[in-house]
Amino acid sequence: MVFIGGPEHKIKPGESFHFATPGCVQHGELFNEWELERIEIARQAGITRWLLSYTESMADVDALQELVGSDAELWLKIENQRGLRFVAQQYQPRPNLTLVAARGDLFVEMRRKHDILAAMQMIISRDPGAVAGSRILLSTCQSQVPSCADLSELGWLLEIGYRRFLLCDEMCLQEQALAVAVNVWNAVVHDYEPINICKSPTRTVDSASCA
């Protein structure tokens, strides 16, 4: 990719990139032929839990549900502004659906970075069983001692109601870092008692952020 007035950037196969503009619209089918083949192979292998990236509508959910069956468990990754608007305005809780605050991409997509806080509150308010994913305990990738900031954030996530977490690829590819993070997590869960001061959040992400 060559940007007018900017750098040339080579995108590797499988690498993600972001267009930070609300004017970008995806065209075509939700799943291409290659993805349909992979979905069918996984389904035949007995996979029953599925993660749907960049979920933006109930139509997206229904499209995957039709392919994998009504009994399959779907984790809906919320990763951009349209996804947040879907959660705030259209999400319909039903059996086997779980919202995932996929913060690896979601934070990148936030126009005002501090709105990630209200986004996290809104997602857990819409689904008490929601999952907080990525950007968790990353300091353990460089040190066996977690940072105060990482511990404080983990405590905050517990305070507002999160009890399910996904660690990011960067950490899971490092055995030592993963072991430290799991040990830290076990210690926090064992020793810390959340007071749930934010259990019923009243703030939501403003309409400009969800446009």
Domains of the chain: 33-135 (3.20.20.60), 136-197 (no CATH)
Per-residue pLDDT of the chain (211 residues; tens, 9 = 90+): 677 777 777 777 766 666 666 677 767 788 889 999 999 999 999 999 999 999 999 999 999 999 999 899 999 999 999 999 999 999 999 999 999 999 999 999 998 999 999 999 999 999 999 999 999 999 999 888 999 999 999 999 999 999 999 998 888 888 999 999 999 999 998 899 887 654 444 444 443 443 3
DSSP tag of 113: T
Alpha-carbon gap, residue 206 to 85, rounded angstroms: 10
Alpha-carbon gap, residue 186 to 84, rounded angstroms: 30
Which residues lie below 8 Å from residue 58, measured CB to CB, with a gap of 6+?
86, 90, 91, 92
pLDDT tens digits along 109-163: 998 999 999 999 999 999 999 999 999 999 999 888 999 999 999 999 999 999 9
The span from the first CA to the last CA of the chain, in angstroms, equals 27
State the pLDDT at residue 19: 66
